[in-house]
A and B are shown apart, each in its own frame.
Chain A
Amino acid sequence: MVKKILSVAICAIVLLFVYAPILLLVVYSFDSSKIINIHEFSFSFELYKQLFRDQKIMQILFNTVWLAFAAAGLSTILGTAGAIGIFYSRKRVAKPLNAVSQIPVINAEIVTAISLALLFSMVALYRTYFSLIVGHMVLCTPFVVLSVLPKLKQMDSNTYEAALDLGASPAQALFKVVIPQIFSGILAGFMLSVTLSLDDYIITAFTKPKTFDTISTYVYNAVKNGTNSSTPALRALSALIFVVMIVILLVINLRARKPANKGA
């Protein structure tokens, strides 16, 4: 009994440790005071009103979202193609290819960012939309490969040949047989890419055009001077981002559980 209580308590403490700051943020997003004071709490939607009225923040939010979806979309195509390529290569080629494709995952992001900056300044594309999107693709693509490859390995590799055998062209076999079987992996890779791109700061800071800002770079610049008082609406924004992420996570998890129920 004691053991049981203890294990529950420890779990609770760990979760509290992880979630307390976020919860605090959500709570104080309903307090409109410029400087947070723990003794005074006045509930209002003031910050949310400010947030949606602030043209600049809305523009930045829009920037962040379209960048995330564009980069995630392109990364998903590239990463899926790469994963399929690795999967159908001969073992001797596939192994090093797979290893090399995963180096960016463990590589320090700052190194990637500086190398990208160096590369793009050499070809005179530094701080353009091109460098920004390519930068985000470099960040996301390995994760797409990582989430698609296991799905390919679960697939019966003969199904592609079976499709060819039944008269499908290689392209038809790919879209009718291979892609549907690995679709959950592709979707997971896409979602992962969206979240990675949404909150990326380092690569964005090194590759973005000068006048372009995402939420990360904007917030960072806003609090750089030691105060976050300049735009309290950011609290509301952060709380909203957290809620949206939770929703996305729930949707993905529920989707993943569905086919299992069907099979039972």
Chain B
Amino acid sequence: MAELKKEEKIIEIVNVSKIFDETAAVQDISFYVRKGEFITFLGPSGCGKTTTLRMIAGFDIPTSGKILLGGKDITNLPPNRRPVNTVFQRYALFPHYNIYDNIAFGLKLKKIPVTYRNDKDETYTKMQKLTRKEIDEKVRAALAVVDLEGFEKRSVSTLSGGQQQRVAIARAIVNEPEILLLDEPLGALDLKMRKEMQIELKEMHRKLGITFIYVTHDQEEALTMSDTIVVMKDGRIQQIGTPTSIYNEPANAFVADFIGDSNILNGTMVAKYTVRFCNKNFKCVDDYEKNEKVDVVVRPEDIVMTDPDKGMLKGRVVSVVFKGVHYEITAMVGRSEMVIQSTQSRNVGDIIGMDIEPDNIHIMKKEFTVNQYDGYITKKNTVVFGDGEFDCDVTTLYPGSHLDEEGYLITADGEKIDLTDVDVTVEVGLEDIEISDNADEGGARGHIVQLIYKGDHYQYIVRTEENEEDYVFDIPDLWNENDYVSIKIKPENIHMRLKQEIK
């Protein structure tokens, strides 16, 4: 993207982090918003999107980093002095005021410079409150924008959720802010209402020309409304781009899985512009190093069904679901599952062929290839890492060594070493971790925080509570998000290296 001129960036976030009680809600994020843009923060709950919005509004102050508005530093400016207004998730209307007074709240507090001319023909400016007539006109105009003419005298409690949301929008836009912040404003509405409001909000954005910063966890909403989407996870930005580029070229498996439906498969680059997955070589348009392990993303609508013998892949249909506009057909290709969206139907048990255009094969660098931890050896010759304690084979640290009866390590040269508290680097492969319901069975315990389906297996991330250590692993069984599990690793699969030689 071309470097923009300074005036075009209405807001700029520079290396901002926010830490609540030692946990980082937002970690070192940087981006900018162009004037007049509709930008959306998208991510699962707890990804830091609302915190980011609250920092722009001024309700939370960043722990570090800077927020610039039109080039000026507003990091520590209180919310009442920012030219920014917010539409809250649960509206936050003032129940003790009627609709008119709710909308007029900001206007009544506002002071604007008015220029006068005195007797000596000198001009001077005075900060003045708006007149009642001006306020009246503005409130009426705002009510017209949200289609609630004639609601002035109604009390908040007599309004439906959708109407309250409109009042909340009117209350914000009546102040003519430079930026309108919307924190999941449609989250509390039913599906049909939400769709209508999406269109209306988009229309409002076009008419008013204000910059909209929108927060949602609904990927469809983000794709429909935004000019730019910022995908967030765990307080970090995963990808920034237009809806099209985010959908077609997801930066990693998380984004691909979160935005739309997708088939995510393990692949290997076998040659320039050639990737191998499902035991077949495919031409592709992305260039990666030969033999690199990659994630391959194919959107369900990009798979074309053909005659069984003509397609690049052959599979057996295992389920067909009618979705209104299309059928969702699941086929097994070897051990991998492929989801296909098509207007044509097939029967369960049919053998079908599948074609994928090189342009529709999207290749991503693998996010995780191995788990790495800092650990240390205990008195009992076990190893502690990742908030857990595991049995291990300490003799692997010194080739040709063995343990004596007291548990001391005897090296190949016959030297006796006490390994207690020795620091080691631990590596565990993605295939070498198992999980169990039984909390006592494994060495560490945590909750499943993420799972991504990858054709023939799931990739899980289990996070421990104490230090939020992550275990990433691939297993074929299905578990649920938030399940509390214990981590099992076989001693031979724990690969350790000494941090430094012991004398």
Contact = CB atoms under 8 A, between A and B. Distances in A.
Interface in A159-209: 159, 161-170, 172-173, 176-177, 180-181
Contact of B110 (A165, A167, A176): A167
A181 B59 contact: no
Interface of A: 90, 92, 156, 158-159, 161-170, 172-173, 176-177, 180-181, 263
A166 B109 contact: yes
Given A167-B109, A167-B175, A169-B80, A162 B86 contact: yes
A162 B94 CA distance: 9
B105 interface: yes
B334 interface: no
B96 A166 contact: no
Nearest 5 A-B pairs (CB), nearest first?
A166-B106, A158-B92, A162-B92, A164-B79, A180-B96
Contacts of B93: 159, 162
Given A180-B96, A263-B157, A165 B90 contact: no
Given A159-B94, A162-B171, 15 more contacts: A92-B21, A158-B88, A158-B89, A161-B57, A161-B86, A161-B88, A162-B86, A162-B92, A164-B79, A165-B57, A165-B58, A165-B84, A166-B80, A168-B109, A181-B95
Nearest to A155: B95
A165 B95 contact: no
21 contacts: A156-B91, A156-B92, A158-B89, A159-B95, A161-B57, A161-B88, A163-B105, A164-B80, A165-B79, A165-B85, A165-B172, A166-B85, A166-B171, A166-B175, A167-B80, A168-B80, A168-B109, A170-B78, A170-B80, A172-B109, A263-B157
Contact of A177 (B88, B94, B175): B94
Contact of A165 (B21, B86, B89, B94): B86
A181 B96 contact: yes
B282 to A, nearest CB: 51
Contacts of B171: 162, 166
Contacts of A173: 80
Interface in B1-28: 21
Nearest to A179: B96
B157 A165 contact: no
Given A166-B106, A167-B109, A177-B94, A161 B175 contact: no
B95 to A, nearest CB: 7
Nearest to B109: A167
Contact of B90 (A158, A164, A167, A170): A158
Contact of B78 (A90, A163, A164, A166): A164
Interface of B: 21, 57-59, 78-80, 84-86, 88-96, 105-106, 109-110, 157, 171-172, 175
Chain A, interface SS category? helix
Contact of B79 (A161, A180, A263): A161
Contacts of A161: 57, 59, 79, 86, 88, 92
A206 B401 CA distance: 82
Contacts of A159: 92-95
A230 to B, nearest CB: 52
B56 to A, nearest CB: 11
Contacts of B59: 161, 164-165
Contacts of A263: 157
A169 B80 CA distance: 6
A166 B174 CA distance: 10
Contacts of A166: 80, 85, 105-106, 109, 171-172, 175
**Which among B84, B85, B95, B171 has the greatest number of chain A C-beta atoms within 10 A?**
B95
A167 B89 CA distance: 19
A57 B109 CA distance: 52
Listed residue (A158, A170, A181) with the most chain B CB atoms within 10 angstroms of its CB: A158
A196 B157 CA distance: 35
B340 to A, nearest CB: 44
A164 to B, nearest CB: 4
Contacts of A180: 96
Contacts of A156: 90-92, 95
A221 B80 CA distance: 58
Contacts of B105: 163, 166, 168, 176
Query: Which of A161, A169, A173, A181 is the most central at the interface, judged by chain B CB atoms within 10 Å of its CB?
Result: A161
A262 to B, nearest CB: 8
Contacts of A168: 80, 105, 109
Contacts of A92: 21
A171 B435 CA distance: 54
A173 B105 CA distance: 10
Nearest to A160: B92
A91 to B, nearest CB: 10
Listed residue (A170, A172, A177) with the most chain B CB atoms within 10 angstroms of its CB: A177
A167 B77 CA distance: 12
